[in-house]
């Protein structure tokens, strides 16, 4: 007689078998090479994460970029920069194109390398030899020269902040030949060569005259230059208030602690002025700030940042959530609060390591969905679902903090689905936010337990859809891509837009990869 223990009928036995192992050694589903490259491009920051290091990320990107069509590499670079708001990965993919298809690079260069920081990263990656060459080559050199010869003074000044390489290094390397006298004088000023001061453009000339006046003990008007160019000068607290309020909304958000160090908030009325600027709806809209960036600012703000300024960041968060959609039907959002989610959202990067962890981003997504979908259910999970009551009327920051405070334990991505099945809950959309490194529920063979539970849920709710948002660059999933399952990576507002399209059945069969393939190589 057959061994009924070995061949017993198991719930969800028809779910597809796992095809690989994840970083935690548990069964998982392998994504296609194109999907894996996209996942790395929008979540990988070339820093060490909980399960992988920066070197392995680089190796994976180079291997995948060599495997897929170069057109998809170009489109992924455009998507990662334009929609994912990444910096290093788009620069790396652009460098890959410099080696693999320089004609494609020329078509996308201006939209991928759209500021000085990305330009410097592109040059450094190429000259490092990581993509197979240690020089720029004639066409990439021409593209860099074109950027330098067409950038505005404001763009050049912003690009001059930073090193490894510095913009001066780049200029010395590519020798741009400017057509305008002001640009020739500016390049000479940048690299420390003799220049005609009268030919300098207005902001740079004002900066030089301001420095000279300071050295002579005279007081003149502050120059309109980037915030960072003034940090080494001995400005008064009142001068710092003028610099801060004259700068961009994003610069103000990023430099609250700098203003504390320079006693700017001790100037009467300044805190109120900063708060008003931060919560101004039009300024928030123009800045295109993401909720993730506001969470970064909120977490980074020191204890001496005035309470009204911190509250203004929360108000700005509420304004920035206008891009989070309202979904039809019964929505369940499941943030992973396990131990591995304590990893910095952008990886360990030395002194540049983000204070925001993956668990903070997962909590933010959950709180944002709840804010816009007041009837949504939130099921945080680790080894099992963690009981937690959230008030949808509380601020996103408050609810995100409550969720992030329950972190710890192992990863069990099937736990919230099992709980929904136990409750026999009616479900239309489930959003799982995790690093996808489930191991507590690992099966010896067959499907992942996540797919088993999803198979059971679909028997009760045949129209239900599952979205797996992956916050880390590990390139496997617990739920296999198919018509009712979307795997998407990253933490920009592009994720919310893609979920909305998927929930409305407006996405193609390739889901997220299909969205990237729709990117136009040439500007419209």
**How confident is residue 51, by pLDDT bands cut at 50, 70 and 90?**
low
pTM value > 0.85: yes
**How confident is residue 296, by pLDDT bands cut at 50, 70 and 90?**
confident
HEC per residue, 314-350: HHHHHHHHHHCCCCCCCEEEEEECCHHHHCECCCECH
**How confident is residue 354, by pLDDT bands cut at 50, 70 and 90?**
low
Q: What is the three-class DSSP state of 5? A: coil
* Residue range 366-395, pLDDT digits in tens: 998 998 899 999 999 999 999 999 998 888
Name the average pLDDT for the chain: 89
What structural domains and CATH numbers belong to the chain?
A: 22-27+325-517 (3.40.50.410), 33-199 (no CATH), 234-320 (no CATH)
Query: H/E element holding 377?
Result: strand 377-378
Q: What is the three-class DSSP state of 487? A: strand
**How confident is residue 6, by pLDDT bands cut at 50, 70 and 90?**
very low
Of 130-144, 419-433, 483-497, least confident by mean pLDDT is 483-497
Q: What is the three-class DSSP state of 433? A: strand
282-297 mean pLDDT: 81
User: Is 287:250 a contact under the CB 8 Å cutoff?
Assistant: yes
HEC per residue, 30-84: ECCHHHHHHHHHHHCCCCECCCCCHHHHHHHHHHHHHHCCHHHHHHHHHHHHHCC
* Residue range 178-192, pLDDT digits in tens: 999 999 999 999 999
């Amino acid at each position: 007689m057959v061994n009924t223990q070995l061949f017993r009928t198991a719930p969800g036995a028809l779910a597809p078998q796992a095809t690989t192992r994840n970083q935690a050694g548990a069964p998982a589903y392998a994504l296609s090479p194109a999907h894996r490259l996209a996942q790395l491009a929008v979540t990988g920051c070339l820093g060490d994460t909980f399960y992988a290091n920066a070197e392995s990320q680089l190796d994976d990107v180079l291997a995948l970029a060599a495997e897929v069509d170069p057109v998809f590499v170009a489109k992924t670079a455009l998507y990662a920069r334009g929609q994912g708001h990444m910096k290093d990965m788009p620069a790396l993919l652009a460098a890959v194109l410099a080696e693999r298809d320089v004609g494609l690079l020329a078509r996308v260069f201006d939209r991928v390398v759209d500021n000085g920081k990305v330009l410097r990263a592109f040059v450094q990656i190429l000259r490092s030899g990581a993509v197979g060459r240690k020089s720029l080559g004639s066409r990439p050199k021409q593209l860099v020269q074109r950027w330098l010869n067409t950038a505005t003074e404001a763009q050049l000044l912003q690009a001059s902040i930073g090193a490894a390489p510095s913009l001066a290094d780049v200029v010395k390397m590519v020798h741009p030949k400017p057509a305008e006298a002001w640009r020739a004088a500016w390049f000479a000023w940048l690299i420390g060569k003799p220049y005609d001061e009268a030919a300098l453009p207005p902001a740079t000339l004002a900066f030089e005259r301001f420095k000279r006046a300071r050295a002579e003990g005279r007081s003149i008007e502050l120059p309109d230059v980037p915030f960072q160019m003034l940090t080494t000068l001995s400005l008064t607290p009142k001068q710092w208030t003028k610099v801060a309020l004259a700068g961009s909304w994003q610069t103000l958000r990023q430099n609250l602690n700098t203003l504390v160090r320079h006693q700017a908030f001790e100037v009467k009325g300044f805190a109120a002025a900063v708060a008003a600027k931060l919560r101004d709806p039009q300024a928030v809209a123009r800045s295109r700030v993401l909720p993730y960036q506001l969470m970064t600012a909120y977490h980074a703000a020191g204890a001496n940042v005035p309470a009204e300024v911190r509250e203004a960041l929360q108000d700005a968060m509420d304004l920035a959530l206008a891009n989070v959609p309202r979904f039809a039907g019964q929505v369940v959002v499941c943030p992973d609060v396990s131990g591995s989610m304590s990893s910095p959202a952008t990886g360990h990067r030395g002194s540049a390591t983000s204070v925001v962890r993956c668990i903070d981003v997962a909590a933010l997504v959950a709180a944002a969905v709840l804010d816009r979908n007041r009837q949504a259910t939130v099921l945080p999970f680790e080894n099992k679902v963690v009981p937690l009551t959230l008030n949808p009327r509380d601020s996103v920051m408050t609810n995100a903090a409550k969720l992030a405070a329950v972190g710890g334990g192992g990863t069990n991505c099937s736990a919230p689905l099992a709980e929904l099945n136990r409750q026999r809950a009616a479900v239309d959309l489930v959003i799982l936010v995790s690093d996808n490194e489930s191991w507590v529920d690992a099966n010896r063979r067959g499907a992942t337990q996540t797919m088993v539970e999803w198979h059971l849920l679909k028997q009760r709710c045949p129209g239900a859809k599952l979205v797996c948002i992956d916050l880390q660059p590990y390139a496997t999933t617990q739920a296999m891509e198919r018509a009712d399952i979307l795997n998407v990576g990253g933490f920009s507002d592009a994720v919310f837009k893609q979920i909305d399209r998927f929930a409305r059945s407006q996405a193609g069969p390739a889901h997220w990869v299909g969205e990237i393939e729709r990117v136009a190589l040439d500007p419209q």
